[in-house]
Amino acid sequence: MIKIAIGIPSRGQVPLEWALNFAHIIKATRYPLQVFVSRHYCIDRARQQLVDIAIKEKCTHLFFLDTDVMPCIYKDDKFIPFPEVINEMIKYNYPVVSAIYLSKRDLKPAIYEHTPNNKLPFKIKEVDFEEIKNKTFFVDAVGLGCCLIDIKVFDLLEKNGYYPFFEYVTDYRNKLEYSEDLDFSLKLLKCGIKIMCVPIYAKHIATVNLLPDKTFEYAPLSD
C-alpha cells in the first residue's frame, strides 16, 4: 500500500502563501501520508534525517517540499498553484520524479548535466523555458525542493555504498564545493538512475520587507 512521507527541511517561519498552499496539497493528496519536519541547521543533514524517519515509518515514497517553493502548472500563459502535485508525480511510477526549478529573474530552467570534471561534476544546461514547457524529460541533476522519491532508491544507494545519501561537498584546498542536491544526483547516476522532470514548476516565493521610509522591497527566500 502506498504511504507518502512529506519531508520539509524547515527554515523556521514560512510565508502565509506557502502555508495555505501546503494545506491544499495535504487535502488534495489521495494517499495516506505523514508530514515530517527537520530543523537541522545543515540542509544535507536535514534531508538525511527526513529520509531516515520516512524509512523508519515504513513509507513507500518521500516527497521533499522546501519552504521557498510552490508547485505550479503552466496554463494560459501563467503559473497556477497545483495542489495535486503528489497525485500527479506518483502516476509516473518512476524512482525519482521532480518539478522543474525556474530562475526568478528570467525563468531559465535550473537543470544540470554531468561533466567529466571531478571538481565540478555538473554544469547548468542551457535550455530556454519554451523548449521544455509542459514536457516530460530526463536530466542528470536538479534541485530537490519539489520531488517525489521511491523509498527503494535509498536501499539501492546504500547497497552500493552511498550512505549518507546527502552530503554538502566542500574541499576548500582543492576549490571543490557542490550542494547536497548535486551530490545526491551524482550518486543516482552512479547507480544508473536519471531524474525525470515532469511539467510541474517549482516557483520560488518571496516575502516583502517594509523599509523605514514606508516603501517596500521583495525579499527572495533563496537565490
Is the model's pLDDT at 136 over the cut of 90? yes
**β-bridge partners, 98:** 147, 197
Q: Would you call 17 helix, strand, or coil by DSSP?
A: helix
What is the chain's mean pLDDT, rounded?
A: 89
- DSSP, res 192: T
Instruction: Return the pLDDT at 198.
Output: 98
> Residue 42: CB partners within 8 Å, gap ≥ 6?
168
Q: What is the pLDDT of residue 52?
A: 96
Segment 31-45 shows an average pLDDT of 92
Identify the top-confidence range among 35-39, 47-51, 212-216: 47-51
pLDDT for 179 beyond 70 = yes
pLDDT of residue 92 exceeding 60, the answer is yes
pLDDT at res. 210: 56
Q: What CA–CA distance (Å, rounded) separates 16 from 37?
A: 17
| CA atoms of 142 and 101, how far apart (whole Å) | 8
Domains and CATH numbers, the chain: 4-220 (3.90.550.40)
pLDDT surpassing 80 at residue 209: no
pTM: 0.89
CA dist 63 and 146 (Å) reads 7
Average pLDDT, integer, range 184-195: 97
Distance CA 148, CA 99 (A): 9
Mean pLDDT computed over 200-220: 64
DSSP 31-98: S-EEEEEE--SSHHHHHHHHHHHHHHTT-SEEEEE-TTEEEEEEETTEEEE-TTHHHHHHTT--SEEE
Q: How many Å apart are CA 188 and CA 149, to the nearest integer?
A: 11
Given pLDDT bands bounded at 50, 70 and 90, which one contains residue 30? very high
Task: Supply the pLDDT for residue 221.
Answer: 44
